[in-house]
Structure 1
Amino acid sequence: MTHSLRSARRPFRAAVRAGVAVGGAVLLLLAAAPAALAHDRLKSSSPADGAKLAQVESIELEFTSRMTMPTLVLDGPAGENLPLGKPRAQGVTVKAEPAAPLEPGRYRLAWRVVSSDGHPIAGELRFTVTAPATPTASESEATPAETPAETASASTSSTPAGAAPAASSSPVAQAEAEAGSGGVPGWLWVAAAALVAGGAATVVAGRRRRATGDAGPRP
């Protein structure tokens, strides 16, 4: 009888042990579930995944906890890597700006951060730009027109050093130019002619006086 009771208790004990083991495993799973559910993750983004926007001037990622060591990679419509400003971690957000306006097309943003528990997490999102890129302020500024003073200065500076100024068209200036260039002024010719004429008149008068003296009464 005693042997029969011992034989009946063995299956019962085995069942109890199995139940305890299963219960312990369930408790461990329940204890680990909150930790898994509380793992840091991406909460929202701007632009959002799949969004279509006229233009994207900045990128902002918001996480469920404070992140460190952010890395962002932006690929263009043709798969080319596009430059981004240095990502900045500010509390639970990570921000960066494209280095140049984005052309229309589909873009892919890959991100990687280190979560508060020290584990790296990564992901990616895609968005579409629909409007053409607008030029920046420095590119759209037109070259200012030259002022009259600047024009005069430019023309003065373009004159070769040591070049003679243009000759005046007045007669006085022309006469001075002729005199300075080695030519004989006209008034000198007139004075010379007057002197010659005066000398000739003096000679003729002297000859007449001599002739008159010779024709006078003789003793």
Structure 2
Amino acid sequence: MTFLRRALVPAVGAVFVLLLTSPAALAHDRLKASNPADRAELKSLETIELEFTSHMQLPTIVLDGPGGKPVPLDKPRVQGNKVFARPTGALPEGRYRIAWRVVSSDGHPIQGELAFAITAPAHSPSPSEETPTETPTETPTPASSPEPQPASAQPPSSSPSTAAATRTGGTSGLPGWLWAALAVVLAGGAAVLFAARRKPRPDRG
């Protein structure tokens, strides 16, 4: 009996230890926490954060928005036991679904889904909040006044009558050619008169 007891005690203890540790040994890695939490209601969401029980590889995250419309995400990145993904823009009001898939440390893929809602629309500046764009006002350029023309150094041009008087030697009255014609006529008359006086008179018988 003593021998049997000594043999059974270690065997029972080993079986007991195996029964306690087998669930942990057979369990796979799993999702430990998330942001957003499943069925959470948020005002906004900037980053999706998934925390696992161990280091994960090859993460894939898909986000569907209102009406099942896909929402663009940045490429997921792994940091320790966490996986992050960021939406490329603000999320409008509505219900969303996150579908994720990773490869655990033992090589087995695991996947799951989360649902959340955005209860406030994405903030957009109202017309009163928008900063008015200042339009540069152009300074009017004063109209340039015409520059005074310098007084001409040349004497004023002569009038036509003055020019004619200059061409005729400054003599006013009859033109020079008329005076020359009169001189010729007078000279001719004087010659005729002188010749008539010298002509002998015929004798009277």
Bucket of the pairwise TM-score, normalised by the shorter protein:
0.5 to 0.7
Q: Where does residue 94 of structure 2 map in the other structure?
A: 105
Q: What amino acid sits opposite 2:163 in the alignment?
A: L
Q: Work out which of the residue numbers 167, 171, 192 in structure 2 matches 1:202.
A: 171
Q: TM-score, length-normalised on structure 1?
A: 0.56
Structure 1 or 2, whichever has the larger Rg, is 2
1:139-178 correspondence to structure 2 within 5 Å? 145-146=135-136, 148=138, 170=146
Aligned equivalents of 2:95, 2:50: Cα separation in 1: 19
Does the alignment pair 1:119 with 2:108? Answer: yes
Root-mean-square deviation (CA, aligned residues, Å) is 4.3
Deviation at 1:133, TM superposition (A): 1.8
User: Kindly tell me: are residues 62 and 171 of structure 1, through their superposed partners in 2, closer, same or farther at Cα, counting changes over 3 Å?
Assistant: closer
SS in 1 for 2:24: helix
TM-score, normalised via structure 2 length: 0.59
Q: CA deviation at 1:33?
A: 2.0
Structure 2 unpaired stretches of 5+: 1-14, 150-155, 191-205
- Gaps of at least 5 residues in structure 1 are 1-24, 153-167, 174-186
Q: 1:39: how far off?
A: 2.6
Distance 1:77 1:199, change over 3 A: same
* Cα 1:197–1:77 shift into 2, 3 Å: farther
SS at match of 2:60: strand
User: Shift of residue 111 of structure 1?
Assistant: 0.5
The alignment of Structure 1 onto Structure 2 pairs a total of residues equal to 159
1:35 aligns with 2:4: no
For 1:184, the equivalent position in structure 2 comes to none
**SS of the residue 1:78 aligns to:** helix
1:118 to partner: Cα distance: 1.1
Whether contact under 8 Å (2:97, 2:114) holds in the other structure is yes
Sequence identity of aligned pairs in percent? Answer: 48
CA spacing shift, 1:134–1:43, aligned 2, 3 Å? same
Q: Distance in 1 between matches of 2:160 and 2:53?
A: 114
Name the SS for the 1:132 alignment partner.
coil
Cα distance 1:64–1:141, how it changes in 2: closer, same or farther (>3 A)? farther
